[in-house]
Structure 1
Amino acid sequence: MTVVDLKAVPNVLIAEADPWTRDLLKQVVLTVRCDAQLDVCGDGQQAFALLGKKPYGLVIADRDLPGIGGLDLLRAVRQRRAVPALPFILLSERSDSASVREALPMAPTAYLTTPLDIEGLTKRLKVLLLEAGQEVSCDAPTLAPGTTLPRFLEQHRASSDGAPLLVDAQSALKGSLGPDGLDLALLEQAVRTDPQITAVLIAAANSAAQHRVSPAQTLEQALQRLGPVQGMNLVLGLTLKRSAQLSDPCLADYAERYWALSLRAADYGRTLAGMLNLDQERCYCAGLLHRLGDLAVLRCLQEWQQGGGELDTRAIDASLAEFGAAYGSALRTRWRLPLELRELIAAIYHLGGGVYSRESLVMNLAAQVAGLAPEEGVDVLASSKTARLLRVGVSELSRLLKAV
């Protein structure tokens, strides 16, 4: 880290109910000031309590926070009559003149409507958090003395950011922009093979803030619910995160192999679902996401390496074997991916007891086909329990292999 006067390091409070918007705000702040001390919360009562415990250099709060709203938080801050006034950015879905006029007497530093203009927010944060000409850079966190690789991975399992990006998200966004703004269809086509982007957008589309009954289970459905601006913001936010791309050639090679496995299962699942008149895109999505945990482990291994840890292929293989499934399960649960989608992902690995949906059978068989060695035929698969339940024989399996 560059030498910075410790008094100039800002304490920033972010109060936002939606976890995905909260995470995006955190990433934008850290992009401007990587050394910022952040407190994040999802309700107004917690934000109010934090404001009473320590001084902040900036507050970013949503107007419609549960408990105590952002407008009431701003009112409480202004009643303290601090000099200079505490910078306070108020976020709101309301852009009507009456709502704006209601906030003006409390003198918010900025009143920003959502979905956010990330470029505009970044410019405001630079003015608020940096002196003219000031630059702050931060090194990767170093490992605590005595930390072992298994312990490091276990500690990060519950907080993992997920998989690295495997498509060029910046180019995808630029290529999807037209005269009328972002084209959702073009963006979907550009990023649809990326497990991390797909998982995060589906999770964000199903968050509580969306107030939806029927869950989005495919990337296309997620983008339609999020809309162009929020969809673009979330993809952009992923590119801002630490270790968003794998820079180590060995780890990148591992990621390419796991990505290829995901794509094969996804393509076979979609094609087989089409042959049986089932939901092709949901099956594709399940196949794409089934190696998300392994990819997330690879991303954490890069952070281990950047922190000063040693790494070789034996350690990589052992880490994937021990933690790949656990990381995937933790991510799917924490991100609250739809239960139906999680069941299809689970079916790729094994079929439990009881009654199976036809789509679960499709994904189990697709994984078996994807795992065939080049010299192996489909005769054994045709006699498997899964194929028999689907009534798929040698002819259909041969056609499947030719189609993908």
Structure 2
Amino acid sequence: MNAVASMPPRVLIADSDPWMRDLLSQMLLAVRGDARLQMCATGPDALEHLRELPDLVIATRELPGISGLDLLRGVRKSPRLATLPFILLSERGDSASVREVLPLAPTAYLTKPVDMAGLKARLLTLLPNSGDVGAQRAPQIAAGTTLDHYVERRRLECDGGPLLCDVQAAVIRASGDMKVLEANLRSDPQVTAVLISAANSAAKPGASPVLTLQQALYALGVTQSRNLLLALASKPGAYLTDPLLLERAEVCWNRSAHTAEFARSIARQQQLDEWFCHCAGLLHCLGNLALLRVLQEWQLAGGELDEVRITQVLRTFSAPYGSELRRRWRLPLELRELIAAAYQLGGGVYSREKLIVNVAAQMASLGADEDVTQIAQGKPARLLKIGVSQLNWWRGAPMIR
């Protein structure tokens, strides 16, 4: 490497898949918390970053514009970069593809889904620690920053909500069994949203959109699902610890779970896709949960919080946070529209799925001493032809959570 051992290493990550970039950045920061990461999605952008003389490159062979293989060729021909450590990732593991790469002497040629344990072992050799730099830095608040300004800034880059499930335990219990893994994780909004987003991001052009957790797990496969799940669990703030924030999160998780289960039950009765409706109901509070995670960051950085401030921030920013996450994570349009139906139907013609999710959200919002009569008299329930007795039956049915 061209950096002095005591200097923080500069690492270039080039991959068109945003979730793969995130996964690789998590792995790097777990090895060297002081690493200076440069991330890009195309070959031309990676070529520009190479001018800054990184200490290590991790690039995907299938980069758009200029392939990772061509980047490696250029590096090996450059007098300044010829000895630069270069890890090449690829979806191609056939013998012809490997033979094509070997003369260029990559530091490693790894096929996707990547064995993250093996990659970590290589990174520990390539990026040796100089002191205690394995832990990521604690968040900092700039002087004069108000809570509203902090929350608004973090909206564009937050990592989503906190985890409900013990993800590491769920992965261990499943032992590679997708059905068991899905059953252990299906109540967690953060897990569901991230895996659906990752599966759609990695899908081939023209593929049918992934709309449920079960579809996402099978699309990603055992190894990549496991990699993403463990990376989620290792991120700062993955789990809430403050009692006030946990109390608010429990309300959101319970409302999400009830909406999801009501939607699933009604969809099954209507002979529609029950897990699609379940997923939309589960994700409709993700903005609230993401905001609670950001509030924990604020508190850990020394900011003050109380119940009044938490309530005000949730009332103002939950909807924008939810919209931003659904947009940035590129959830399929049909899923985003179904999630929005939990709040309002708007004008026009409604699909039965939207009517179902709307009724389910109304049911989940009922207090213990409120009855379902008003819901049964509303337009969504009437269009679905479901009445008080049916709604009461669903209300008393046990949940799958």
- Identify the TM-score tier after normalising by the shorter chain: over 0.9
> In the alignment, what sits opposite 1:168?
166
Residues 114-129 of structure 1 mapped to structure 2, 5 A cutoff: 114-129=112-127
Please name the residue that 1:13 is paired with. Answer: 12
**Alpha-carbon distance in 1 for matches of 2:373, 2:133:** 64
1:324 is aligned, of 318, 321, 339, to: 318
1:227-266 matches, within 5 Å, as 227-266=221-260
- What is the DSSP-based 3-state SS (H/G/I as helix, E as strand, rest coil) of the residue aligned with 2:293? helix
| Corresponding residue to 2:387 among 393, 396, 399 | 393
Contact 1:70 1:90 in 2 (8 A): yes
**Cα shift readout 1:339-394 (whole Å, capped 9, x = no counterpart):** 11111111111110110001111111111111122122222222111111111112
Partner of 1:30: 29
Q: CA RMSD in A?
A: 1.8
CA separation in 2, counterparts of 1:238 and 1:142? 22
Letter in 2 for 1:99: S
Following the alignment from structure 2 to structure 1, what is the Cα–Cα distance between the partners of residues 39 and 47?
12
Work out the CA distance in 1 between the residues paired with 2:129 and 2:155: 37
Relative to the length of structure 1, the TM-score reads 0.94
Secondary structure at the aligned position of 2:156 is classed as helix
Give yes or no for contact 1:17–1:209 (8 Å, CA) kept in 2: no
Distance 1:316 1:382 in 2: 33
Tell whether 2:380 aligns with 1:381: no
2:275 aligned partner: 281
Structure 2 match to 1:369: 363
Partner of 2:334: 340
The one-character-per-residue Cα deviations of 1:235-282 (angstroms, maximum 9, x if unpaired) are 112112221111222212211111011001111111111122121101
The secondary structure found in structure 2 opposite 1:351 is coil
Q: Are 1:137 and 2:126 an aligned pair?
A: no
For residue 223 of structure 1, the aligned residue among 217, 223, 248 is 217
Map 1:177-196 to 2 at 5 A. Answer: 177=175, 182-196=176-190
Mapped partners of 1:210, 1:183: distance in 2: 25
- The answer on whether the counterparts of 1:115 and 1:230 sit within 8 Å (CA) in structure 2 is yes
1:152 aligns with 150
| Pairwise CA distance, 1:132 | 8.2
Deviation at 1:121, TM superposition (A): 0.8
Shift of 1:18: 1.0
CA–CA separation in structure 2 for the residues paired with 1:134 and 1:398: 58
* Structure 1: 5+ residue stretches without partners: none
Partner of 2:290: 296
Give the structure 2 partner of residue 42 of structure 1.
41
1:194 is displaced (CA, Å) by: 0.6
Count of aligned residue pairs for this structure pair: 396
3-state secondary structure, aligned to 2:102: helix
Q: 1:28–1:240: 8 Å Cα contact kept in structure 2?
A: no
Tell me how far 1:134 sits from its aligned partner: 6.3
Partner of 1:315: 309
8 Å CA contact retained: 2:12, 2:39: yes
Residues 1:58 and 2:52 aligned together: no
Shift of 1:208: 5.3
- Cα shift at 1:151: 0.4
Q: Which position in structure 1 is the counterpart of 2:396?
A: 402
Deviation per CA, 1:296-348: give whole Å up to 9, x if none. 00000111111121111111111111110100011011111111111111111
Q: Aligned AA for 2:86?
A: F
- Structure 1 residue 210: Cα displacement: 3.5
- What amino acid is the match of 2:15? E
Distance 2:81 2:194 in 1: 41
Aligned to 1:91: 89
Distance 1:224 1:331, change over 3 A: same
Q: Structure 1 residues 208, 189: closer, same or farther in 2, change over 3 A? A: closer
Shift, 1:141, TM fit: 2.4
SS of the equivalent of 2:87 reads strand
- Secondary structure of the structure 1 residue equivalent to 2:312: helix
Instruction: Please tell me whether the aligned partners of residues 196 and 211 of structure 2 are also in contact (alpha carbons under 8 angstroms).
Output: yes
- Write the letter of the residue equivalent to 2:77: Q
| Alpha carbons 1:16, 1:41 under 8 Å: kept | yes
The Cα of 1:144 is off from its aligned counterpart by 0.6
- Which AA in structure 2 matches 1:127? T
SS in structure 2 at match of 1:12: strand
CA distance in 1, matches of 2:383, 2:136: 56
Structure 1 residues 168 and 212, CA, compared in 2 at 3 Å: closer, same or farther?
A: farther
CA distance in 1, matches of 2:68, 2:394: 55
Q: Secondary structure at the match of 1:324?
A: helix
Please, which moves more after superposition, 22-31 or 236-245?
236-245
Q: CA deviation at 1:82?
A: 4.4
SS at match of 2:138: coil
Matched residue type, 2:331: L
Structure 1 residues 362, 106: closer, same or farther in 2, change over 3 A?
Answer: same
Q: Cα distance, 1:7 vs. partner?
A: 4.7
